[in-house]
């Protein structure tokens, strides 16, 4: 129980000092390989905290340290290192809690 409390505290602190963006990824044809390529490319960026690709919707969600990463850097990295097309989605108000819901719903 003590470790869960500490973990929740660290996650909340990270959330306060992070930013989250969503991108539309076009050109993914295979669920496993394409999703892996996008995730591994984005998570290789120093300052990215979390990345998740939904193959069905083509949406990439990225949480990152805004002092080290920005949306343009993510777009450039995907464009340079993959064959996929990427565009930034407009922010939605509930984005910050998406990954928290995934972690604690298990």
Residue 88, Cα to own-chain centre: how many angstroms? 12
In which band, very low, low, confident or very high, does the pLDDT at 96 lie, cut at 50, 70 and 90? Answer: low
73 falls within a domain: yes
CA angle 88, 91, 92 (to 5 degrees): 140
55 falls within a domain: yes
DSSP H or E segment with residue 50? strand 48-54
1 falls within a domain: no
95 falls within a domain: no
Task: Indicate the DSSP class of residue 30.
Answer: -
Q: What are the tens digits of pLDDT across the range 34-65?
A: 999 999 999 999 999 999 999 999 999 999 99
State residue 91's pLDDT score.
62
105 falls within a domain: no
**pTM (2 d.p.):** 0.69
Structural domain range at position 70? 19-89
Number of domains in the chain: 1
How many C-beta atoms surround the C-beta of residue 53 within 10 A?
21
8 falls within a domain: no
78 falls within a domain: yes
Task: Give the domain CATH number at 25.
Answer: 3.30.70.100
In which band, very low, low, confident or very high, does the pLDDT at 77 lie, cut at 50, 70 and 90? Answer: very high
Nearest in space to 21 (alpha carbons), one of 66, 62, 55:
62
41 falls within a domain: yes
Q: What are the tens digits of pLDDT across the range 11-26?
A: 555 555 568 899 999 9
């Amino acid at each position: 129980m003590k470790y869960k409390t500490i973990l929740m505290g660290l996650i909340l602190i990270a959330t306060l000092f992070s930013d989250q963006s969503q991108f539309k990824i076009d050109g993914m044809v295979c669920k496993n390989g394409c999703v892996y390529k996008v995730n591994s490319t984005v998570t290789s960026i120093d300052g990215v905290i979390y990345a998740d690709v939904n193959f069905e919707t083509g949406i990439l969600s990225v949480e990152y340290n805004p002092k080290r990463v920005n949306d343009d850097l993510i777009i450039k990295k995907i464009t340079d290192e993959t064959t996929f097309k990427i565009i930034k989605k407009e922010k939605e108000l509930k984005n910050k809690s998406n990954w928290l819901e995934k972690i604690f719903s298990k």
